[in-house]
Amino acid sequence: MAMNATRSIILGLLVTFTPACEEEAPVVTDGAGDASAAAAASGSASAKAAEPPPIVFTEADFIESDESRDPYREYTSLFVKPVDEVSREIGRKVKAPMYALDEMKLVGIIGGSAQRAMLVDPKGYGWILLPGDFIGKAELVNTGGTEAQEVPLNWKVDRIREMDVVFVREDPARPQIARTTRILPLHSGDGRGGT
């Protein structure tokens, strides 16, 4: 019983003195505390003087420059190559239009129903090819005959086989141009194919 009574008294004292702890108690000084109160007052005044001045923004602060760049601007176009581009002179989508087929290296083949091949350009960027895809820089081919013209043609993926990829270069609109076939093997000395 004595233990419960002691707990009740302690709980009562805590409830009574808790609000007093939240309020600032008055300070009674006998003259010796005046110096410490003055030091505290001068310390708070120097703290206010140490605060930086407010920042004022102008219209020039919101114009993008080398010192102030837009954090929401998208920069992915600087780092990602376009997957395929439409060739202006031919009018069809061509993958890796800036490199000749001789500059490309066959690094991988996926067989079966999901046939795919991967070629890597000189800069190390990989290009995934499906049968029917056009690739590489257009080559000028002479049509022959009396009215000989030079026609730009791209290599097209004809077949993807287990160990190589067969490319063709032809123009169905101009049957006088002979169909050319090129095979890039997967495992050759430097990875570049022959004919």
Q: What is the pLDDT of residue 177?
A: 73
Strands 85-86 and 93-95: antiparallel
For residues 94 and 135, the answer to whether their CB atoms sit within 8 Å is yes
Strands 93-95 and 134-142: parallel
Q: pTM, whole model, 2 decimals?
A: 0.49
Query: What are the boundaries of each domain within the chain?
Result: 84-185
pLDDT in tens, 119-144: 999 998 999 999 999 998 888 877 76
Higher pLDDT, 76 or 45: 76
For residues 93 and 134, the answer to whether their CB atoms sit within 8 Å is yes
Query: Kind and range of the H or E element at 17?
Result: helix 2-22
How does residue 194 score in pLDDT terms, banded at 50, 70 and 90? very low
Phi and psi based region of residue 132 (left: phi greater than 0; alpha: psi -120 to 50; beta: remaining) = left
Alpha-carbon gap, residue 45 to 37, rounded angstroms: 13
Q: Using DSSP, state whether 180 is helix, strand or coil.
A: strand
Q: What is the pLDDT of residue 193?
A: 45
CATH topology of domain 84-185: SH3 type barrels. (2.30.30)
- Number of Cβ atoms within 10 Å of the Cβ of 38: 10
Alpha-carbon gap, residue 106 to 84, rounded angstroms: 18
pLDDT in tens, 168-189: 988 777 777 778 899 999 865 5
Q: What is the pLDDT of residue 152?
A: 82
For residues 106 and 119, the answer to whether their CB atoms sit within 8 Å is yes
**Per-residue pLDDT at 24 exceeds 80:** no
Cα-based angle 73, 79, 82 (whole degrees, multiple of 5): 105
Q: What is the pLDDT of residue 192?
A: 47
pLDDT in tens, 60-69: 777 887 777 7
Alpha-carbon gap, residue 184 to 105, rounded angstroms: 8
Q: What is the pLDDT of residue 28?
A: 52
Q: What is the pLDDT of residue 140?
A: 81
